Structure 1
Amino acid sequence: MSAPRVHSEIHRFLLEAAAPYAKEIRRSDPRTALDTVARGILGACFHNSVRPDPITGDTATRTYADELSDMAIAYLLTPGRRHTPHP
């Protein structure tokens, strides 16, 4: 399977896994918020895989996953910013 296909499948899986909780999302556009979270998680995983000092080992990997999850949940449970014109 090609890398773009893997990326698309993981993205779809993350969106499907979060869908039952969509009513708990406090962002103004839950679908866009879920897409943003999925992209952020995928980006963090990709970044870790290409770093010269990637996170390795079961404990460190679980800690990294927990931290990413905490960030994603905090974002999803925080109301969006009020958009005002910039001066």
Structure 2
Amino acid sequence: MPKTIFSDENMVVVEVVKAARIAAGLKQTDLAERINKDQSWVSLVEGSQRRLDVVEFIKLAQALDIRPSTMLDEIVEKIAQSER
């Protein structure tokens, strides 16, 4: 069994977070500034080298002006689709 950081499910989380950042017209540095992190932190998350915890996920969603539950619903739906 692969480590969860490299799981298909975590890849969906990364995909949704990255797509939301791009849709918001933000660079990694812009998002990092909004959450008081370094750009390298965002890069590690988007590169699937670092897994988000719930608090970090909420802060990212809020920094992107998206309800965390909206992002989570998208993640759950994409995971369900991939299992069909």
TM-score, scaled to structure 1:
0.33
TM-score, scaled to structure 2:
0.34
Q: Which has the larger radius of gyration?
A: 1
Higher relative CO (Cα under 8 Å, sequence separation at least 6) belongs to 1
